[in-house]
Amino acid sequence: MSAYTISIVSIIGINVILAVSLNMISGFCGQISLGHGAFFGAGAYAAALVMVGLANVPLALLAALLAGSALGIIVGFASLRVRSDFLAVTTIGVNFLFVGFVRKQTWLGGEMGISGIPPTGFGAPGNMVMILVLACATVAFSLYVNRSWMGFAFRAVGEDEQAATTLGIAANAYKLAAFGIGTALAGLAGGLYTFFTQFITVDAFDFIFSVMLMAMVVIGGIGSTWGVVAAAIGLTVLPEAIRFVNDYRLLVFGGMLVLVIRLAPGGLAALIRNLFVRARQA
């Protein structure tokens, strides 16, 4: 495997974790979050600090996980107080606050970011395997959650919060759980990203990145784990596969987001489901 392939596969793995974790919050539980990049960034910075200080991989991953979910649970509390549109604006705000805050912190490297992060010692292929294993685990976990009682409660809260509360589902607890789990996984992805690049700046975690993650979820079909995985892989490979797309990446992402919502608001998953239904009827 060439170094190029290894790096692409690593990025795909990271993006799959991010998109699937965002899908748990926004797809399963219906809490639109446009600030997923902030949790990703929190994890990346936490892992970078641990690696620079202690050079301990498991500890760095744990720190990334905890940093992501700590910030996520704080935002989760916000989701208990504000609904739908307000929550979307709040999470956009969280993303801008994160970037604006980190940029001014000298202990986090400010504008220059953190460089010279010690390697994990597994080499690039080893890192890739670790990323892929964790990505598969994330997908399996997402599928499991979706079938579990918790997934049912998430969907109930996402569909109609009041009705769910009437049925005795503790909506607040489940919303917090969705945020806690989803953002912990985003933090984990951040840690992996730090291992992968060994150099982080805050610009990698900006709002535009959060929009791309949301694009993956929406294009894949909000709520569908496999659809989101497919979209995450597709949207990561697309700019690499077609050279010219790389220069117009945002144009293509934005355009696809608009087109998919306009033509198939259910995303890939709904398109395929409809095809099956039609094939069966024919």
What's the CA gap between 159 and 219, in Å, rounded?
20
Burial of 222 (0-12, 13-18, 19+ CB in 10 A): buried
Q: What distance in Å separates the CA atoms of residue 16 and residue 134, rounded to the nearest whole number?
A: 10
Total interface residues for another protein by CB under 8 A: 42
Question: CB 212 → another protein: shortest distance, Å?
Answer: 9
CB closer to another protein, 130 vs 268: 268
Mapped onto helix, strand or coil, the DSSP state of residue 114 is: strand
Q: Is 215 in the site for another protein (CB under 8 A)?
A: yes
DSSP assignment of 164-219 equals HHHTT--HHHHHHHHHHHHHHHHHHHHHHHHHHHS-B-GGGGSHHHHHHHHHHHHH
Q: State the burial class of residue 255 (Cβ atoms within 10 Å of its Cβ: 0-12, 13-18, 19+).
A: exposed
Nearer to another protein, 2 or 162 (CB): 162
Closest separation in Å from C-beta 240 to another protein: 18
Which of residues 142 and 210 has its CB atom nearest to another protein in the complex?
210
* 133 makes contact with another protein (CB under 8 A): no
Contact residue for another protein among 5, 53, 54, 83 (CB under 8 A): 83
Q: Least distance from C-beta 44 to another protein, angstroms? A: 19
Rule CB under 8 A: choose which of 5, 53, 104, 277 binds another protein. Answer: 104
Which residues contact another protein by CB under 8 A?
Answer: 32, 34, 78, 81-86, 88-90, 92-94, 96-97, 99-101, 103-105, 207-208, 211, 214-215, 218, 248-251, 253-258, 261-262, 265
